[in-house]
Amino acid sequence: MTVGFSLLRATESGARAGVLHTRRGDIPTPVFMPVATRASFRHISLDDARSTGAKIILSNTYHLLDAPGPAVFESFGDIHRFMGWSGAVLTDSGGYQIFSLPGERSITQRGAHFRLPSGRRHLLTPESSIEVQQAIGSDIMMALDVCVDSTSDETHTREAMATTHAWAMRSLEAHARKARGQALFGIVQGGVHAALREESAAAISALPFDGFAIGGLAVGETRVERETMTALCTALLPEEKPRYLMGVGTPLDLLAAVQRGVDLFDCILPTKMAQQGWAYTFHGVLEAMRPAMQHAQGPLEPGCTCLACQSQPLGYIHHLLRVGNTQGVRWLAIHNIHHTQALMARLRSAILSQQFEADYRELSESLPRRLKAPLLG
Ligand SMILES: [Zn+2]
C-alpha cells in the first residue's frame, strides 16, 4: 500500500477525521492542498507555503507536461527534488485542464487531443498521463477522466462517464505495469445527474484504487446540486479509503463537503481572493483595500497564527495593496491559505471531540459568503 488511510472518527452526518499515510509522512484529514500549478505557487514562495502548515500540495500534469516536461523530472529524480519540496505532492491527470481549455480539443476513446500552453498539439491517453505522472514522481496520481459542463444533457454526460470508466481501468493497468510506489486515485463523474453519479460511484469504487475523487463539480452547477452530488458519491464510496473533492471551493463549500464525508480538497480560491484584496476570516470576508483599513494597527484576523498576522499590521498590508506592491497580495495569500488549513484543523478537532454539529452550525453562519460570482467557477 503506497497510501493508506486510518479513519479515526465519523459523525452521524458522515464528517470524518482521519490520517492519510503517504510515503512522505502522515497527514491529518480533512486536509486542504494549496495549488502549485507549475511546480510553483502564485504570489507566495515555497517557504511561505511551508509556513502555512501545508503537508501536501497539488500540481497540474497538463502544465508540467509542457514545462519543464517529463524529461527534466526524470533527470532530477522527481518533483520533490526539482522544486525543493519534501512534503507530499498530488498531481491531477490533466483531465480538468483539457476540459477547461479555450479553443480546440477533441476526445476519442483513445485519448484527448489538445494544445499545450506553448501551442504544441498533444495527445494525452490514460497510459501517457500515468507515464507523465510517474516521471513527475508525485505521491498521489489521478486517473485521466472526461469532465463535462454541468449543463450537459444526460446522453452526453453518460458518454463522458463511460469513457472515464474505461480510462480508469486502462490507468490501473498502466500503473501496474510500472509500479513506482505511487498511489493512484480514481475519479467519479456523472455531472449533476443523480442516477449517473450513483452508477459512476459504484463502478469506480469497485476498482482497486488507493483513493477516490469526486470530479466534475465546481463547473457551473448550483450549490444545492454540488452538495447533493457530493453526498450521493460519499454514501457509495468505501469508508476505508480517502475521498477527494476536486477544485472545490469557498469556505462554506468546504464546510458542507466535510459534513458529507470528504477528506481532501484543493482550490485556487484562497489565492484568487488575495488578488482581489480580500482576506478570509472566521467572521466573513475582510476587504483590505477599504479606506477604513488605512489606520488598522491590528492583524488581518486577531488570533490568527499565520506569518502575515504575526508580522504585519492590516494598515500596512492595505498600504502595499494601494501602492500596487506585490507583497500586499503575498501577505493576503499566505493568510488565506493558512486560514483554509486552520478551518480544516478546527473541523477535525470538532469531529474528534464530538462537537462537529455545533461547530458546523456556528461556521455556517460566520464563514465568508460574499464572494463574487466569477470567482466561484
Ligand atoms: Zn492570518
- Per-residue pLDDT 10s for the chain (377 aa) are 578 999 999 999 999 999 999 999 999 999 999 999 999 999 999 999 999 999 999 999 999 999 999 999 999 999 999 999 999 999 999 988 888 887 778 999 999 999 888 888 999 999 999 999 999 999 999 999 999 998 899 999 999 999 999 999 999 999 999 878 999 999 999 999 999 999 999 999 999 999 999 999 988 899 999 999 999 999 999 999 999 999 998 999 999 999 999 999 999 999 999 999 999 999 999 999 999 999 999 999 999 999 999 999 999 999 999 999 999 999 999 999 999 999 999 999 999 999 999 999 999 999 977 565 333 32
CB of 239 closer than 8 Å to CB of 7: yes
Phi and psi at 117, nearest 5°, equal -55, -30
Ligand 1 center to 335 CA (angstroms) = 4
CA distance 130 to 144: 8
Q: Could you tell me the distance, in angstroms and rounded to a whole number, from the CA of residue 356 to the centre of ligand 1?
A: 23
Q: How far apart are CA 97 and CA 147, in angstroms?
A: 9
Instruction: Give yes or no: 139 in active site.
Output: no
C-alpha 345 – ligand 1 centre gap (Å): 15
Quote the distance between the C-alpha of residue 1 and its chain's center. Answer: 23
Q: What is the pLDDT of residue 117?
A: 85
User: 88: closest CA among 2, 7, 22?
Assistant: 22
Q: How far is the CA of 233 from the centre of ligand 1 (A)?
A: 34
First and final C-alpha spacing in the chain: 35
Secondary structure letter of residue 84 according to DSSP? T
- Model pLDDT, residue 1: 53
Q: Enter the DSSP assignment of 122.
A: E
> In the annotation, is 26 catalytic?
no
- Tell me the three cell numbers of residue 122: 498533444
Would you call 284 helix, strand, or coil by DSSP?
strand
pTM for the structure as a whole? 0.96
- Out of 48, 145, 253, 266, which one is annotated catalytic? 266
Q: How far apart are CA 41 and CA 336, in angstroms?
A: 13
Residue 246 Cα to ligand 1 middle (Å)? 25
Out of 78, 92, 145, 263, the active site residue is: 92
Q: How many Cβ atoms from other residues are within 10 Å of residue 374's Cβ?
A: 7
Res 371: pLDDT: 62
Angstrom distance (rounded) from CA 202 to CA 34? 29
At position 118, the amino acid (one-letter code) is S
The upper half-sphere exposure of residue 126, i.e. CA atoms within 13 Å in the direction of its Cβ, equals 25
- Residue 314, phi then psi, degrees to nearest 5: -55, -40
In the reported structure, the alpha carbon of residue 314 is separated from the centroid of ligand 1 by a whole-number distance in angstroms of: 10
Q: How far is the CA of 307 from the centre of ligand 1 (A)?
A: 7
Question: What is the reported pLDDT for 376?
Answer: 36
CB 274 within 8 A of CB 50: no
CA–CA separation, 135 vs 101, rounded Å?
24
pLDDT at 3: 84
- Residues listed for the chain: 377
> In which region does residue 60 sit, left (phi positive, over 0), alpha (psi from -120 to 50) or beta (all else)?
beta
